[in-house]
Each structure stands twice: as C-alpha cells, then as structure tokens.
Amino acid sequence: MASNIFNDTDFDGILNRIKLLDINNQKNWGEMGIEQMLEHCCAQLKLGLGIIQADIEGSSFMRTTLGRWLILYIMPWPKGLQTPARMEIVQNKISEVVLESEKKALISLLEKVKRQTHLKPHPFFGEMDKKDWGRLIWKNLD
C-alpha cells in the first residue's frame, strides 16, 4: 500500500523525521533550504485546511482521475516539479530558534489535517478525497 499520512505508521514516521531536522542537515533533494521546505510544507497543509486560498492552476490533466492517480501513486516525484504559486517560498536565513518554531508549526498543521474528514480542493489536483490528500502530503513531506 502506498504511504499516506492518514496511516498511523506513516504519520508517525514523518513526524519523527520532522523532529530530527537540524539546521546543519544537508539538502538531499530540490533547491529549497530547510526553512523554505518547512514553510512550503506548511503552505500545502494550510491549503488543504482552507487557511489560505489558491486559484486553480497547472495542467487540467492533473485534475483528472487518471492524472492524479499517475502522479500520486505510480510516478516517482519528479525533481523540478512545478508548485502551486501559494506554495512558492522566498529564501531566508534561519536560526535554530526559528527552525524549532517552524517544525512545531508543521507538526501542529499535520495533526490538524489528520483530524479532518474533508480537505479543500488542491490548486493542481482539484477536489480530492482524504486518501489522495494523504498520499500527496506524504509524498511532499517525504
């Protein structure tokens, strides 16, 4: 079964990885620094919770059942993948205090998302059920 934050084992695994983040961690994937990655992940969860709003954007194929299934369950997460405009993050310097604050914010948002029965439409994928949202969040956090 594909990893998903609504699975308790997968959720706990992601939480543990977030808690272990440190300002000295090397970038392993993508262009964002650790602070940008945390803000980016928080933005995704805020979109799902409806805390921030976003216009529909990206390829209409991604909003089809086939497109969503391919991207969430079949294809590896491609490097350089476009991100919704509301999730684009500006580079900042970060201190250990700020990092701990960002980690706590992300964990708090994850816990709120996990308690939801329904999440808002995604700017790229449109209306999604809880399973697909959970998979998307897991892939983004991974």
Q: What are the tens digits of pLDDT across the range 54-64? A: 888 888 998 89
Question: In the predicted model, what is the mean pLDDT of the chain?
Answer: 86
Q: How far apart are CA 29 and CA 17, in angstroms?
A: 15
Query: 3-state class of 134 per DSSP?
Result: helix
Q: How far apart are CA 30 and CA 138, in angstroms?
A: 16
Structure tokens that stand for 49 in this block: 């919770």
Q: How far apart are CA 106 and CA 42, in angstroms?
A: 5
pLDDT number for residue 92: 46
pLDDT number for residue 25: 78
Better pLDDT: 89 or 39 = 39
**pTM for the structure as a whole:** 0.79
Structure tokens that stand for 4 in this block: 């998903």
In a 13 Å sphere around the CA of 22, the CA atoms on its Cβ side amount to 4
Residue 119 to residues 34, 47, 116, 132, Cα–Cα distance (Å): 26, 8, 7, 10
